[in-house]
Structure 1
């Protein structure tokens, strides 16, 4: 079936990024398979992460179907778009429905995007990973694709005003090689392995990031362990 909505939305996003003069450093897109199912696994630090993660699949001419909270699909603007792009709503009270939907999509050869931290990390460090991504890959017999995003929190993140002016903000993305998800391996072990790989990619992206805070008032987006003023993981956990 023809994709009538997703490609135009990507075009609009690219136009917006050009208007904002975002500076992209994306490496590893060659690891995105040109055919067949896969579970793309990324850290989650901003509201626009699904857009940037999805862009990594364009060189392979692929579209990523993201699992997102059900409330996004109820919004009068985003809801129709999300459904038309065949993203997958997740009702946390009835998660198995979303799981079955994603499993069918994987078996039909789709790439499914998952943020296994479930919510945005306000500390900008990796939270614990839910096991769903690993379980999906194991049951569908598809690989995991680890990915890390950095800089997206400076555009729009939880608890901060949006910065969608002509900001010249760098966005750094790293995509890792496929990781096997052996059905015989304990799911918790697969989850730990993919989290460790995302952590490595995140640290690589942070090292490569081309700018540093401009002053004491511009350290909010840097994790505490790197000298910034973002909340520690413990403090972020208390905020909910």
Structure 2
């Protein structure tokens, strides 16, 4: 009921008026049954516009902090994020990360439509970054198709660090489902999961037209922050255009 109220009565009409969102390829999303929507991630608002434009309820995992803040503001945030279809996920430890994966698998096996950002965090510069293999593991264990989704314009409407959104036309493009049933029973094989994840990211690159960078977005953000603070020696400093050469040591 709360999800319907937010989508149809409170938030939805405002988003339509100010951002004129439109969606292409809606026929690629099944009318029922579990499916995983794997999207590029440009802004926080991605998690608002995609559920708005898809007829079915879309569930996104969200940081636990959105649901546990104290006081009146904290209660409002919990109500709001629950209303837009997000569920709390604790990502503070390895066991918590596994719990997040298990939650995703459970929801998909229940026939739900789940959204996920394979990059793991927002792109720092509008480019598409290396995907985390959690998306592959969830898809294999839940035995559901992965549907690539490209968001356009959300980073203009909701730039990183902005407190207020500004009107900008939003476009969403949904690609054809990717079937990984040929890998059934191979969940946990890191080479298989990496291969699947790379296939998903390639589909996202083609769909979005973004430049692809073969490092994790979190690693890129760390390097950018260190560079801005002057923490890197001069010979090791890199511009945002060169950051794809930062060595990747992070596990998928």
Quickly name the TM-score band, shorter chain normalised.
Answer: 0.7 to 0.9
Q: CA RMSD in A?
A: 2.2
| SS, match of residue 160 in structure 2 | coil
Q: CA deviation at 1:81?
A: 3.4
- 1:96-139 CA-partner distances (Å, limit 9, x unpaired): 11211111111010011101111111211111111111111111
Return the match for 1:24 from 16, 21, 27. 21
Q: Aligned with 1:170: secondary structure?
A: coil
Q: Give the unaligned 5+ runs of structure 2.
A: 187-191, 211-238, 247-252
Deviations 1:123-182 (A, max 9, x none): 111111111111111111100010000100112132345333xx3x11111001111123
Other-structure match for 1:47: 44
Deviation at 1:203, TM superposition (A): 1.3
Deviations 1:60-80 (A, max 9, x none): xx1011011222222412223
Larger Rg: 2
Q: Which residue of 2 aligns with 1:195?
A: 201
- Counterpart CA distance in 2 for 1:152 and 1:46 is 6
Shift of 1:85: 5.7
In 1: Cα distance, 2:145 partner to 2:47 partner: 19
| Cα drift, residue 91 of structure 1 | 1.8
- Going from structure 1 to structure 2, the CA distance change for 1:96 and 1:172 (only over 3 Å counts) comes to same
Q: Do the aligned residues in 1 keep the contact of 2:58 with 2:85 (CA within 8 Å)?
A: no
Number of residue pairs aligned between Structure 1 and Structure 2: 201
Which residue in the other structure is 2:135 paired with?
133
Q: Residue 122 of structure 2 aligns with which residue?
A: 120
By how many angstroms is 1:19 displaced?
3.6
The two structures have a TM-score, normalised by structure 1, of 0.76
Deviations 1:197-233 (A, max 9, x none): 01111119xxxxxxxxxxxxxxxxxxxxxxxxx9447
Aligned to 2:103: 101
Residue aligned with 1:55, SS: helix
- Asked if structure 1 preserves the Cα contact closer than 8 Å seen for 2:60 and 2:116, the reply is yes
2:34 maps to what in 1? 37
Name the CA shift for 1:15/1:56 in 2 (closer, same or farther; >3 Å): closer
Q: 1:56-75 maps to which residues of 2 (within 5 A)?
A: 56-58=53-55, 62-75=56-69
